[in-house]
Structure 1
Amino acid sequence: MLSNGCEGTSMTGLMMRRWWLVASFAVAGAAYAQKVQPAPSRYDEELKKLGDGLTENMAIRDVHFAKTDDRKHKRFYTEQWDLSATPEYKPSKQFTGTIRVSGNYLVEGTIADQWKQDFERLQPGVKVEMVQEGEVATGDVQIETGPRMKDRLRQASEFEDKLKRSVFDVEWATGSYDVPGWSPGFVIFVQKDNPIAHLSLAQLDGIFGGAHTGGWDGTTWRTDSARGPEKNIRTWGQLGLTGEWADKPIHIYGRPLKYNIQLGFERKVFHGGDVWNENTLEYSHEMNPDGSRYSSSPEMVKDMGNDPYGICFADEASMIPTARAVPVGSTDAGPFMPITLNSLHDRSYPLFIEEWAEVSVAPGKPLDPLTKEFLTFMLSRQGQDAVQKDGKWIPIPSDVSKAAIAKLNEPGKVVRAGKLGLQDAMLAPAKWMGDSPDETGKVNAKKAYYTKRWDLSDLPAYDATTQVTGTIRMPASGLIMASTVGQAWMDGFRKQQPGVTFVKQDGELIDKKVDLELGRKWSSYFAGETLQFQLKYKHSAREIQIGTGSYDVPGYSPAFAIYVNKSNPVTGLTMEQLDGIFGGPRRGGWVSTAFRRQVGRTSEKNIRTWGQAGAPGAWASQPIDVIVPPLKYHIMTVFERKVLEGGNMWNDSIKEYPLLLKADGTRNVPSEERIKRVGMDKDAITFSQEGFPAGQAKALPLAATDGGPFVPPTLENVRNRSYPLSLELYAYADQQPDKPMDPVTKEFLRYILSREGQDMLQRDGKWLPLTAEMVKEQREKLDMVIPPFKNPGTKAKAKAAAGAQ
């Protein structure tokens, strides 16, 4: 039986609560259904106007590749460090076999060729293959090099989910001093006349970060890194400056929080925390009107250099006359070191960046012998000599090399049962799952939780006058296939189209292993699935809505409900007010895969007291306590799209509640805990889902626009989407530019978007069927032809080449 997360609470109690909610809103819900059209989305409106970012991303990548090509064979540093204390590589024995190593920038320089030549000479029975792309998790390679996977939690969680083990990693090089692309160290810049002498890591945390209730160590949430708002530093006087500087605000310049560069800074400075100073101005890579690239770091430093109260972190290559690099110390007592080649090499400058090698080691088992041998070579004197001869990355110190070689003797980490992968579904749910996992672990995929049957007579009946033949490859895994509707769709379609065969197999659309992916919306920001598809194929996958998420079934994309304390006099909130409460000011946000300044907003729209949200009397001055899941959870990107218009900047006073193991080995239920917390804190607000006991909390009606009606979250209002925080169910197909959609795939989607297909969805009893208006809109997409990507011109490449000289 489905539990709501409380001990002893049964499906009967939950259904009674649902009946009470539906009954209590029945009259209002019916009225809203008649009067209100599907709630307009601010994000969707911007997407229609601005596009999905394909053109911009292709132009930006053209510049990136041109600059990388120009740098890859250059030797930037001729420094020869003394490597005599670094262990010399001596074969432990002679091996036979093949070792495959991947690394985008690794193969762009001379290191890969040098390693291959030297190792094959010392190990003539081994063939070394150095490839630009390849993942340890998929078995493509034995060693994967690049940024730290444990910082990129989506990739780390996918690794854990696939292999059921932790990532094993060692660092094999230090990043560069000033070579863009080759992991240059973080430089703290201020305006040249700023009198600040030096800064510590703790001070940088106070400047750039916000208070946080915990932080990430890989995919493990740790509370020992928490800090309170009393350590925020928001004025130059808090750093010891006096006189006219004492009360001056610190102006933060930065990059979009989804950029990889931010993740290393979070680990180094925030101890894994992910809450940033909400006043950070984000500078992204953008496409200029002439097709050239607006580069984030140089433009950011240029603007900061004109602001006496500004500060940012960037790379040494972005240095300009109006900016000054500040020495940094690991502790408040120092020593405070300037960034130089030598302070990066000996790591006395604390904001160096590491290059990592990641491998797969089974829990309690030793490292594969050949893999261990090659890693030992990478860390040896010969391997490090190849690094310094390449002249971009910096060799690691001898003590780091010795420690890393010793680590290779350690067995794979054995993790407490239930802990490994605990956060995986939260951080990176598979694309064929829902937008949020079933936190209760009690939902029965075959059970119908809703018995209501909507009148679907206004939906088009399926017309099989066009007969098609062929095969449709469908994912074997996922919620659609685990429920009743996936097989029902296939069986029903085959009766109408007997010439079609379905093949169920695991695989992804981006790898061309399936023809359709059915499930949650693809992540569309920087490094999300939509961008990865765009970069690989130079067109976007076709996205079709095939259903609405559930009202309150955990795991099945339930609608967001906004909860406040029952004593709170606020009776409803608009989407813009929610943005003001949960979000911070932003220079822009992600509209699909492009960072758009059009969706930026100022701090004037922040809402930090209940009076600003309309509460009268004594409530007017009460601060709003915002309670949310951790910002790295996938569901937060959904909330960002729905409420923050794709922005990533959150209210920096939020309190994060993660999924945790209890002392008895059971898991908490974060959505339920957040609602309970709101019931105990009269000033609190959170988002969760309906279906859990509300206690002393209440769900608020919401309005899509300032002048719109306030619509309560009910089954009917979620289905017709007059409630603005409903979620969706999606299908994705690969349609080639300038060509119609594959006729077999198109016909199957037409069937899903028919009266018969939507009736099967509603009979499954978890997701909700589309309305006739929604079906019409989605069917029209099936007839669309995608125009090919058009390069905006050669100016981007020309400017890149000129800029790289």
Structure 2
Amino acid sequence: MEGQRPGWFSVRFATWVVGFLLLGGASAWGQTSELLPYQALVTPDGMLKSVGSDTMSQLMSLWGEGFERFHPALRFEIASKGSSTAPPAITRRLANVGPMSRPMREAEVEAFRNAYGYEPLVLPVAFDLLAIYVHRDNPIRELTLEQLDALFSHVRRRGFPTNPTTWRDLGLSGPYQEAAIRLYGRNSLSGTHSYFRENVLWGADFRTNVQEQPGSCSVVQCVGYDPFGIGYSGIGYRTADVKVLRLAKERHSPSFEPTAETGFSGDYPLSRLLYLVVRHSETEPMEPVVAEFLRYVYSREGQHTVAKSGYVPLPASEIKALLLKAGLN
């Protein structure tokens, strides 16, 4: 995906699949009708535990509810404190699956490899768009990545000449002219925090006045209550109280709304894959409960849940390739 910079590490065939997905064609994204309905191959019981991304908490909850309808003897437990909690939970066997809104870092992979002698399996499960939110009554319509960088970091690595502090600095007048811009974001455990820092701030530190929130929903709620607020969160958390801004990569370049088409084409600059991390050696079978859950995730029902949650389902042809590569066909 655009903007992945040094410090990120995609493991096993995650890099292969990202390239493969990009060959699928935008028209294939978001369609679930070609996928097969879920059919259980085994009947798991006991517990399936998920630890990781808050961005994916709603999606994991809905997947869990749907999966439990097929397997009522199974209990699905979710802890969603941030993507950074997923790798250690998988490595220490505190979870069966680890949802992440960013790729694993090299140090996280190395810790797993040292424990097991092989790399974790990282599977793309959905396509997400990171949105920039303002209050619904705010008249601003668009920003550039340079302006976003200058808003959220003092360093301004993208080259914007000043750090905007009032809405007048972004071209607004009237009641907004002297109003201070209030910034909302995620905490450092979040994959969304890391993604924004790497892809918007180019690795620079956030400004100290960013009000860090524990969850994606909290960011959107804060902006919805604050007429002078601005924040970033996944597109799946949009509500009627906020407005999503169009983004331009550079000054004098066109701006785009976050949609499946603009994200896939790269016109909208803040798009990413969402992942599930699992323990799986190529020489040994996957845990039956994990394999069954992944079959559900990649089924028609599972990807329909992706769409209902505000994300973009993966193309059917690529899902078939993923199942084959993971030994789940």
Give TM-score, length-normalised by structure 2: 0.57
Task: Choose from 141, 153, 158 the match for 1:583.
Answer: 153
Of the candidates 454, 461, 468, which is equivalent to residue 36 of structure 2?
461
Q: Please show how residues 177-188 of structure 1 align to structure 2 within 5 Å.
A: none
Q: Residue deviations 1:667-722, cap 9 Å, x none?
A: xx664344444x2x4xx64335531524xxx5311245778752335799789997
| 1:94-109 pair list within 5 angstroms | none
Report the secondary structure of 1:730's partner residue.
strand
1:770, CA displacement in angstroms? 0.6
- Distance in 1, Cα, partners of 2:74 & 2:314: 30
Match of 2:285 among 742, 745, 765: 742
1:640 aligns with 2:197: yes
Q: Aligned with 2:241: secondary structure?
A: coil
AA paired with 2:285? D
Does structure 1 residue 52 correspond to structure 2 residue 13? no
Structure 1: how far apart are the matches of 2:188 and 2:311? 28
Do the aligned partners of residues 51 and 632 (structure 1) sit closer, same or farther apart at CA in structure 2, a change above 3 Å counting? Answer: closer
| 1:650 lines up with 2:206 in the alignment | yes
Is 1:521 the equivalent of 2:66?
no
Q: In structure 1, what is the Cα distance between the partners aligned to 2:305 and 2:136?
A: 39
CA RMSD across the alignment: 5.4
Distance 1:633 1:488, change over 3 A: closer
Partner Cα separation in structure 1 for residue 213 and residue 283 of structure 2: 45
CA distance in 2, matches of 1:475, 1:580: 43
Say if 1:584 and 1:603, in contact at 8 Å, map to a contact too.
no
For residues 583-625 of structure 1, what are the alpha-carbon distances to aligned partners after superposition, in whole Å with 9 as ceiling and x for unaligned? 344xxxxxxxxxxxxxxx847356524899874999xx99984
Q: Return the match for 1:701 from 221, 237, 246.
A: 246
How far apart, in 1, do the equivalents of 2:283 and 2:241 lie? 49
Whose radius of gyration is greater, 1 or 2?
1
Question: 1:509 is matched with which residue?
Answer: 90
* 8 A contact 1:546–1:752 mirrored in 2: yes
Query: Aligned to 2:294, what secondary structure does the other structure show?
Result: helix
Give the equivalent residue in structure 2 for 1:308: none
Report the AA paired with residue 734 of structure 1.
R
Answer whether contact 2:134 2:244 (CA < 8 A) is retained: yes
Structure 2 residue 133 is matched with structure 1 residue 562: yes
The question of 1:475 aligning with 2:48 is answered: yes
Aligned counterparts of 1:51 and 1:686: Cα–Cα separation in 2:
24
Q: Identify unmatched segments of 5+ residues in structure 1.
A: 1-39, 55-453, 495-500, 552-558, 586-600, 660-668, 786-805
Q: CA deviation at 1:512?
A: 3.4
> Does residue 574 in structure 1 map to residue 170 in structure 2?
no
The Cα offsets for residues 378-410 of structure 1, whole Å up to 9 and x where unpaired, read as xxxxxxxxxxxxxxxxxxxxxxxxxxxxxxxxx
1:783 equivalent in alignment to 2:325: yes
Q: Per the alignment, do residues 754 and 578 of structure 1 end up closer, same or farther by CA in structure 2, a change over 3 Å counting? A: same
Counterpart residue type for residue 731 of structure 1: L
Gaps of 5+ in 2: 12-29, 52-56, 79-88
The 1-side partners of 2:137 and 2:300 are apart by 41
**Aligned with residue 608 of structure 1, among 135, 149, 163:** 163
Name the SS of the counterpart of 1:42 in structure 2. Answer: coil
Work out the CA distance in 1 between the residues paired with 2:167 and 2:248.
18
Asked whether the 8 Å contact 1:675–1:686 carries over to 2, the reply is no
Give how far 1:769 is off: 4.8
SS at match of 1:687: strand
Q: Hey, what's the Cα distance between the residues in 2 that align with 1:463 and 1:632? A: 36
| Residue pair 1:740, 1:784 contacting (<8 A) in 2 also | no
Residue 547 of structure 1 aligns to a residue in which SS? strand
Q: Does residue 536 of the first structure (1) align with residue 115 of the second (2)?
A: yes
Q: What does residue 124 of structure 2 align with?
A: 545
> 2:185 touches 2:231 (CA, 8 Å); kept in 1?
no
Q: Can you list the C-alpha shifts for 1:742-797, whole angstroms capped at 9, x where unaligned?
A: 365557535532434323555xx435451417x61784486279xxxxxxxxxxxx
Change (3 A) 1:690 1:522: closer
Between the aligned partners of 1:778 and 1:605, the Cα distance in structure 2 is 44
| Aligned counterparts of 2:38 and 2:112: Cα–Cα separation in 1 | 33
How is 1:262-341 mapped onto 2 (pairs within 5 angstroms)? none
Q: Could you tell me how far apart the structure 2 residues matched to 1:612 and 1:537 are?
A: 55
Partner Cα separation in structure 2 for residue 469 and residue 717 of structure 1: 39
Measured in 2, the distance between the counterparts of 1:704 and 1:475 equals: 41
CA contact (8 A) 1:582 1:626 kept: no
For residues 206-256 of structure 1, what are the alpha-carbon distances to aligned partners after superposition, in whole Å with 9 as ceiling and x for unaligned?
Answer: xxxxxxxxxxxxxxxxxxxxxxxxxxxxxxxxxxxxxxxxxxxxxxxxxxx
- Cα displacement (A) at 1:42: 0.8
Are residues 1:757 and 2:302 paired? Answer: yes
Please report how far the alpha carbon of residue 530 of structure 1 lies from its aligned counterpart in structure 2 after TM superposition: 5.4
Q: How much does 1:733 deviate?
A: 1.3
Which residue is equivalent to 1:732? 277
Gap change, CA 1:530 and 1:692, over 3 Å in 2: farther
**Aligned letter for 1:509?**
I
Mapping of 1:652-667 within 5 angstroms? 654-656=209-211
Specify the SS of the correspondent of 1:509.
helix
**Are 2:313 and 1:770 equivalent residues in the alignment?**
yes
- Deviation, 1:461, is 3.0
Which residue is 2:66 aligned to?
488
Check conservation: 1:541, 1:735, Cα contact below 8 A: yes
| Partner of residue 197, structure 1 | none
Match of 1:628 in 2: 184
Amino acid across the alignment from 1:578: L
Aligned partners of 1:41 and 1:704 also within 8 Å: no
In 1: Cα distance, 2:223 partner to 2:65 partner = 36
In the TM superposition, what is the alpha-carbon distance from 1:649 to its structure 2 partner? 1.1
CA contact (8 A) 2:127 2:273 kept: yes
Structure 2 distance, partners of 1:480, 1:564, is 23
Q: Which amino acid aligns with 2:66?
A: A
Asked whether the 8 Å contact 1:741–1:782 carries over to 2, the reply is no
Code of the residue aligned with 2:277 in structure 1: it is Y
Give CA deviations for 1:500-538 in whole Å, capped at 9, x if unaligned. x98647694323365x415343785698x6564355345
Match of 2:184, as an amino acid?
V
Aligned partner letter, 2:163 = R
In 2, the alpha carbon distance for the partners of 1:603 and 1:705 equals 9
Q: Do the aligned residues in 2 keep the contact of 1:582 with 1:651 (CA within 8 Å)?
A: yes
Quote the Cα distance in structure 2 between the aligned partners of 1:651 and 1:606: 16
Deviations 1:422-467 (A, max 9, x none): xxxxxxxxxxxxxxxxxxxxxxxxxxxxxxxx7523x443698xx9
CA distance in 2, matches of 1:673, 1:756: 32
User: Is 1:687 aligned to residue 242 of structure 2?
Assistant: no
1:658–1:670 Cα contact (<8 Å) kept: yes
Asked if 2 retains the 8 angstrom alpha-carbon contact of 1:629 and 1:656, the reply is yes
**Partners of 2:265 and 2:285 in 1: how far apart?**
30
